[in-house]
Structure 1
Amino acid sequence: MTYTTRVDGSDQRDTRQETLYRKIGRRLLPLLMVCYVFAALDRVNIGFAKLQMSEDIGISEAVYGLGAGIFFIGYALFEVPSNLMLARIGTRKTIVRIMLLWGLTSTGMMFVHDTTSFLILRFLLGVFEAGFAPGIIFYLSYWYPPARLAAPMALFMLAGPISSVIGGPVSTWIMTGLDGAWGLAGWHWMFALEGVPTILLGLVVWRTLADSPAQARWLSAEEKALVARDIDTGQNPHGRHQFRQVLRDPRVYGLALSYFFLISGMYAMIFWLPTILSDSGVESITAVGLYSALPYAAAIVVMVVLSRRSDRRGERRLHSAVPAIVAAAAMTVAAFTTDQLAVALTAIVISTACSWGSYAVFWSMPSSYLSGTAAAGGIALINSIGLFGGFVSPTLLGYLKEATGGDLAGLLVLVGMLLAGGIGIAATRLPARNH
């Protein structure tokens, strides 16, 4: 199509682009977000189940911490192979396989009866879910050019805090309302009712998801060409395009190490917040669920604001680093005020919201830097290394809590991890791309 003037042509093109990307967002993001809500819920609802199941099956604080974290060992071991396979066989087949297997395993958690079955099923849950989140991150890079990626990425990742906003009250309601029904404990019902929807969603994905814009029947030929041109124009000429290049790139490992520390702080809080609230004097399981939702409600707002501001300014590094450092400062306050529920909870809300905001913007950095087969493997590599933090920090908190009898030592470890993550992100400078 030929434009008569630069101004008119630019305006017309921008209008067409905005309309197109809103259309893509309406078609893809709601389904992907719902799927991720259950992915996040199925991995973290163990924090609420612990309030009942610890006594029922006889697991210690240290064993719980190990079980919460061992999920990430299975996840990390199988994540890179899963994402490399996704690049070969397509998103739809990969995501459906992941969702069916993790849904069955999550539902199977209702049959946990001792320490061994608890640890085995948590490990398998990580194995089967491996590749889901980084697979979707890679998938979104098919549909959005780097300059537009932070906002849809953050909308997808909103599923994490959304799952905690609704997951806390819903999980604790199931645990209290159905406790004893048909001879099953409340935590049995929670795993069953929160695992089965994942299986059903996998079938929806199979019927509706297109592997790429080129295969989307709901896009016109002109729209497909516009997406392809935008993504090709936005590729970083200084970036990495082959997976073997990624394995030798110090910037990738800098991002991965920073992500490790950021995830360490985030997941330790996710898994231990119900216990911390209980230790702070919140006795009702229902109240624990409601209080647990507050930090994640704040996180939703911060993620949207930061990601949009990051896209508007075209700046990623400081938009991710500064919130992580603020999260560390807020967690310091929480660590020393656990006997003052209002102060500690306020600090936890700020820390959680900022860490999730940092996380949302972070993923637009490797997605803009990597392309080609490097994007699939590189994103998975960064996530795999980072997710070891999801194993280390909950496990470490469990041992520290058991050894000291309190939460202070563990929370101070979280402060150090969040601070290290923020400093690491600030220090990792990626080459500028063409606009």
Structure 2
Amino acid sequence: MTAPPRTGSPEATAHSAYRKIFRRIVPVIMLMYLLAWLDRVNIGFAALTMNKDIGLSDTAFGLGAALFFVGYFIFEVPSNVIMEKVGARMWLARIMITWGLVSAATAFVVGEVSFYAVRILLGITEAGFFPGVLLYLTFWVPRALRGRITALFLMAAPLATAIGAPIASLILAHLDGFLGLKGWQVLFLAFGLPTALVGVAVFWLLPSKPADAKWLTADEKAFLHHQLALEQADTDKDAGHSTFSALKSPKVLALAFVFFGIASGSYLLNFFLPQVVASFKTTYGISLSVTQIGLISAIPFLCAALVMYFAARRSDRTQKRVVYVSGGTVIGAVALALSPFVGNPVLAIVLLSVTASCVYIALPLFWQLPPRFLTAASAAAGIALINSVGNLSGFVWPYATGALKATTGTFTVAFVLVAATMFIAAVAVIALDRSRKRQDNARPSREEPELETVARVDR
């Protein structure tokens, strides 16, 4: 095991190293995820006019939105394993360039078949991005700091909707006919092409590991290597040492189900919230313009962006991951289940804002749980498996919601079913944590000084 740094104050070295990571790495990965979620948000807004233009029914749109996750699921684990072999910088750049180009190509779909095809291809090209970034963070920062950085990374998702919703609605309202294109076509091009360009820049901006970072001193590199080595030595070995053992681990599969439940609420809101707000016309007798729909749809995600970082920061200090994950998921589920039954549109948006906030509190802190069960050798495949299986919620619920909406004329049944799934996921994560506590001895106290150092990084 590598010895700790021998020169300078360890606390000063830690402070300096983490500051540099916050300044050099975090803004880049936030921008990357922001663009990823802008790509996912724009399909929900494009549906307001695209569905009619190319003849998509509610069911066909739901199926097309869901098919993204077919390619995503199949290629997720191989993509993450390849990234571990070729390096994060090259592979993450490749992912962004190809998904940006395919996203832009969505502007030229002409019917159901082409819509389905481009959605499957988009899933294939984006596969591995999210778990790849999570794996990338395990190369850079110890567990005590990772919750906060993961929250900053995931904060880009609600920010993407809060920013993208008004932008998308303005494009649809005011750029219809620009260069002979429909507004929804301009929308896909405006969000897809910049993503590909950022992918090119990522190759130069992200060192694969601390040892490759020219902006870290030798002491800082040694400190990070030492801290990560200590943490890895303390990792639970129940999931085994190999890729194969991670894929068959009951705990990994249980975590995948938990993520499925939490992500269900996220995908429901991201794909269908604009249409839910548009349905206020029939539900509450309120007629809204496309621009107003965009602005209202941004509210829940703006609330989520405001609260999620502070919850993650508090969780980093207390290390009570399961409390925040399970509590946030339960509260979000209750708010989601109640939202279709209130008789006031303002209260409905308030409840949906609670749901979005709680989901985005739970998501970044959930991702602090898998590394406790995975060794370095199994982390790439294990995290990818959890993400790919969990993201099947992005297939199940868009398709089911579209079909249920077509059958019942409302989103009520879908909302209640998703809420029930979230609640079961919260119970599962509590049970998993209790099982772990029964099996494990108390952890060594050597992490505590590190927590104090980390707590001061962003003051």
TM (normalized to structure 2)? 0.90
The answer for the alignment partner of 1:247 in structure 2 is 247
Check if 1:178 corresponds to 2:175: yes
Query: For the residues of structure 2 that align with 1:417 and 1:2, how far apart are their CA atoms?
Result: 51
Query: For the residues of structure 2 that align with 1:433 and 1:79, how far apart are their CA atoms?
Result: 32
Sequence identity of aligned pairs in percent?
Answer: 38
Equivalent position to 2:401, from 391, 397, 404: 397
The answer for the alignment partner of 1:238 in structure 2 is 236
Partner of 1:364: helix, strand, or coil? coil
Q: What runs of 5+ residues in structure 1 fail to find an aligned partner?
A: 4-8
Residue by residue, what CA displacement relative to the aligned partner does 1:22-63 show, whole Å, maximum 9, x if unpaired? 111110010111111111111231000000001100100011
Q: Which amino acid aligns with 1:161?
A: P
The answer for the alignment partner of 1:420 in structure 2 is 424
Question: Aligned ranges for residues 343-362 of structure 1 at < 5 Å?
Answer: 343-362=347-366
Structure 1 position 318, deviation (Å): 1.5
Structure 1 position 264, deviation (Å): 1.6
Change (3 A) 1:96 1:424: same
Query: For the residues of structure 2 that align with 1:36 and 1:184, how far apart are their CA atoms?
Result: 27
- Whether the aligned pair in 2 keeps the contact of 1:104 and 1:196 (CA below 8 Å) is yes
Cα RMSD for the two superposed structures: 1.5
Check if 1:298 corresponds to 2:303: yes
Residue by residue, what CA displacement relative to the aligned partner does 1:72-106 show, whole Å, maximum 9, x if unpaired? 11111100000000111100111111111101100
Q: Which amino acid aligns with 1:39?
A: A
The answer for the alignment partner of 2:390 in structure 1 is 386
The answer for the alignment partner of 1:134 in structure 2 is 131
Change (3 A) 1:2 1:272: closer
Residue by residue, what CA displacement relative to the aligned partner does 1:203-254 show, whole Å, maximum 9, x if unpaired? 1111221110011111111110000011111223423432222123211111
The answer for the alignment partner of 2:345 in structure 1 is 341
Structure 1 position 375, deviation (Å): 0.8
Change (3 A) 1:250 1:111: same
Check if 1:165 corresponds to 2:162: yes
Q: Which amino acid aligns with 1:171?
A: A
Q: Which amino acid aligns with 2:115?
A: F
- Further displaced range: 360-369 or 133-142: 360-369
The answer for the alignment partner of 2:21 in structure 1 is 24
The answer for the alignment partner of 1:46 in structure 2 is 43
The answer for the alignment partner of 1:207 in structure 2 is 204
Check if 1:314 corresponds to 2:319: yes
Query: For the residues of structure 1 that align with 2:24 and 2:443, how far apart are their CA atoms?
Result: 28
Query: For the residues of structure 1 that align with 2:139 and 2:302, how far apart are their CA atoms?
Result: 30
Query: For the residues of structure 2 that align with 1:248 and 1:305, how far apart are their CA atoms?
Result: 35
Structure 1 position 2, deviation (Å): 6.5
Query: For the residues of structure 2 that align with 1:129 and 1:222, how far apart are their CA atoms?
Result: 36
Q: Which amino acid aligns with 2:328?
A: P
Q: Which amino acid aligns with 1:90?
A: G
Residue by residue, what CA displacement relative to the aligned partner does 1:87-129 show, whole Å, maximum 9, x if unpaired? 1110011111111110110000100110101111011111100
- Further displaced range: 137-146 or 423-432: 423-432
The answer for the alignment partner of 2:332 in structure 1 is 327
Structure 1 position 13, deviation (Å): 2.4
Residue by residue, what CA displacement relative to the aligned partner does 1:405-425 show, whole Å, maximum 9, x if unpaired? 112111111211211221122
Query: For the residues of structure 2 that align with 1:419 and 1:205, how far apart are their CA atoms?
Result: 38
Structure 1 position 150, deviation (Å): 0.4
Query: For the residues of structure 2 that align with 1:112 and 1:23, how far apart are their CA atoms?
Result: 43
Partner of 1:149: helix, strand, or coil? helix
The answer for the alignment partner of 2:288 in structure 1 is 283
- Whether the aligned pair in 2 keeps the contact of 1:266 and 1:355 (CA below 8 Å) is yes
Q: Which amino acid aligns with 1:333?
A: L
The answer for the alignment partner of 2:62 in structure 1 is 65
- Whether the aligned pair in 2 keeps the contact of 1:65 and 1:399 (CA below 8 Å) is yes
Query: For the residues of structure 1 that align with 2:134 and 2:408, how far apart are their CA atoms?
Result: 40
The answer for the alignment partner of 1:259 in structure 2 is 259
Structure 1 position 18, deviation (Å): 2.2
TM (normalized to structure 1)? 0.95
Q: What runs of 5+ residues in structure 2 fail to find an aligned partner?
A: 282-286, 448-459
Change (3 A) 1:283 1:212: same
Structure 1 position 367, deviation (Å): 2.7
Query: For the residues of structure 2 that align with 1:415 and 1:237, how far apart are their CA atoms?
Result: 33
- Whether the aligned pair in 1 keeps the contact of 2:67 and 2:119 (CA below 8 Å) is yes
Equivalent position to 2:370, from 366, 370, 382: 366
- Whether the aligned pair in 1 keeps the contact of 2:140 and 2:209 (CA below 8 Å) is yes
Query: For the residues of structure 1 that align with 2:338 and 2:58, how far apart are their CA atoms?
Result: 24
Q: Which amino acid aligns with 1:363?
A: W
Structure 1 position 183, deviation (Å): 1.7
Partner of 1:428: helix, strand, or coil? helix
- Further displaced range: 17-26 or 397-406: 17-26
Residue by residue, what CA displacement relative to the aligned partner does 1:116-143 show, whole Å, maximum 9, x if unpaired? 0111101111110000010000000100
Query: For the residues of structure 2 that align with 1:238 and 1:362, how far apart are their CA atoms?
Result: 17
Partner of 2:139: helix, strand, or coil? helix
Query: For the residues of structure 2 that align with 1:165 and 1:315, how far apart are their CA atoms?
Result: 28
- Whether the aligned pair in 1 keeps the contact of 2:243 and 2:377 (CA below 8 Å) is yes
Change (3 A) 1:246 1:270: same
Query: For the residues of structure 2 that align with 1:123 and 1:252, how far apart are their CA atoms?
Result: 26
Structure 1 position 433, deviation (Å): 5.0
The answer for the alignment partner of 1:6 in structure 2 is none
- Whether the aligned pair in 2 keeps the contact of 1:138 and 1:367 (CA below 8 Å) is no
Query: For the residues of structure 2 that align with 1:22 and 1:319, how far apart are their CA atoms?
Result: 26
